Amino acid sequence: MLQRPRRNRQSAVIREMVAETTLRTQDLIFPLFLTAGQGKAVPIASMPNLFRFSADKLLAEMEACLKLGLHTFALFPHFEESQKDKYGSISLQIDNLYLQTIRQLKTYFPEVCLMTDVALDPYSSDGHDGVVENGVILNDETVEILGNMALVQAQAGADIIGPSDMMDGRVQHIRQVLDKNKFQHVAIMAYTAKYASAFYGPFRDALDSAPKLGDKKTYQMNPANVREALIEARLDAAEGADFLMVKPALAYLDVIKTLHDAFDLPIAAYNVSGEYAMIKAAAQNGWIDGEKAMLETLLSIKRAGAKVILTYFAKEFATKFRF
Ligand code: PBG
């Protein structure tokens, strides 16, 4: 036998040396949930070890993460039902909880790289990512609002705008609005191939943002499709996106790989709430080794071609492995 592949697996040193994929804290974005009040860390039942933080607690959490070398966060706000309306109007009020907190945390921690969320669902009385009229999600009317939302978030200090809504043409509109207002330096991470997925359940619990009627299948992609992701990616790249994101990650590793091979923009993947919940639930039952499952999961997403991973495991990874 001239070839014995086991020779390159015989020690930890050799295995590390020939490892084709590595994980670093710098590859990760940590999604965090913001809620009103003070001194609050409300546990999220379906997402063990994760909380909805009031602004003061959020700052403390970020400080702890910064010490671990974790610098990039995606922030999602929780609003009360009574604050929501059809157009998500509160999203544009510059003294709302979200924008106020963004300004505050960028003042405290200028070194934080902050990704903000652009979509109507946290603010919408219909629980949809766009404006609903007679059961139909209106595209162009929604895109107008999304542009304004991106602008107020950039003014508050966002570094990366994350349109998570899947309306057609929103990346271009957001890019134009940002540029017109001298925010050329603010990046856009497009949710490019975002699928209508069962794996968002725990996130919608965390934000009370589930659709009141129907589902999101007229704007989020059909899990059956991968070629369609190329159409979305072509559009987002042409419209000025700086990152192309695939979401969820695990059931869509082939989509990550496809976009990675076809585009030279960095590919991001969102390791979503349901994917986190599954591993945590099984680990809590003693059915799998949670730490090993976390590492294998994150590694698989990178191996598929993601440069950046949004993951609820970010802090745990940084705590246990640092670099
Ligand atoms: C909605 C949004 C969702 C997530 C991020 N932004 C849920 C949805 O589309 O209903 C899900 C993230 C997760 O599950 O971790 N704009």
Name the residue of 142, 204, 215, 252 to mutate for ligand 1: max ligand atoms within 8 A of Cβ. Answer: 204
Q: How far is the CA of 291 from the centre of ligand 1 (A)?
A: 24
* Whether the predicted pLDDT of 106 surpasses 90: yes
Closest by Cα among 160, 159, 170, 174 to 194: 170
Between 208 and 134, where is the model more confident? Answer: 134
Helices 97-108/139-156 angle, 10° precision: 30
The one-character DSSP state at 200 is G
Question: What residue has token string 């705590």?
Answer: 319
- The pLDDT, as a whole number, for residue 209 is 86
Confidence band, pLDDT 50/70/90 cuts, at residue 322: confident
Angstrom distance (rounded) from CA 41 to CA 315: 16
Average pLDDT over residues 275-296: 98
Tens digits of residue pLDDT in 45-83: 999 999 999 999 999 999 999 999 999 999 999 999 999
- The pLDDT, as a whole number, for residue 142 is 98
Name the residue of 78, 79, 117, 121 to mutate for ligand 1: max ligand atoms within 8 A of Cβ. Answer: 121
Whether 247 is catalytic: yes
Residues having CB within 6 Å of any atom of ligand 1:
119, 121, 129, 164-165, 200, 203-204, 216, 272-273
Q: How far is the CA of 7 from the centre of ligand 1 (A)?
A: 44
State the closest ligand 1 atom to the C-alpha of 211, by its place in the atom list counted from 1: 10
Name the residue of 170, 192, 203 to mutate for ligand 1: max ligand atoms within 8 A of Cβ. Answer: 203
- The pLDDT, as a whole number, for residue 12 is 97
State the closest ligand 1 atom to the C-alpha of 119, by its place in the atom list counted from 1: 16
Name 6's Cβ contacts closer than 8 Å, sequence gap at least 6. none
Residue 177, SS3? helix
Which one is catalytic: 57, 247, 302, 315?
A: 247
Which one is catalytic: 57, 194, 302, 315?
A: 194
Tens digits of residue pLDDT in 172-214: 999 999 999 999 999 999 999 999 999 999 999 888 888 998 9
- The pLDDT, as a whole number, for residue 208 is 86
Q: How far is the CA of 46 from the centre of ligand 1 (A)?
A: 14
* pTM, rounded to two decimals: 0.97
Indicate the average pLDDT of the chain: 97
Residue 116, SS3? strand
Angstrom distance (rounded) from CA 313 to CA 136: 36
- b or e along 246-276 (b: 16 or more beta carbons within 10 Å of the residue's beta carbon)? bbbbbebbebbbbbbeebebebbbbbbbbbb
Average pLDDT over residues 134-141: 96
Angstrom distance (rounded) from CA 33 to CA 202: 12
Q: How far is the CA of 251 from the centre of ligand 1 (A)?
A: 15
* Whether the predicted pLDDT of 323 surpasses 60: no
State the closest ligand 1 atom to the C-alpha of 272, by its place in the atom list counted from 1: 15
Average pLDDT over residues 276-288: 98
Tokens of 212: 């009141």
* Whether the predicted pLDDT of 117 surpasses 70: yes
Closest by Cα among 183, 122, 184 to 156: 183
* Whether the predicted pLDDT of 159 surpasses 60: yes
Assigned architecture for domain 20-321: Alpha-Beta Barrel (3.20)
Tens digits of residue pLDDT in 221-264: 999 999 999 999 999 999 999 999 999 999 999 999 999 999 99
Q: Could you tell me where the beta strands, DSSP code E, fall in 20-139?
A: 28-34, 41-43, 51-53, 72-77, 113-118, 131-133, 136-138
Using alpha carbons only, how large is the chain's radius of gyration in Å?
20
Nearest-CA residue for ligand 1 atom 2 is 164
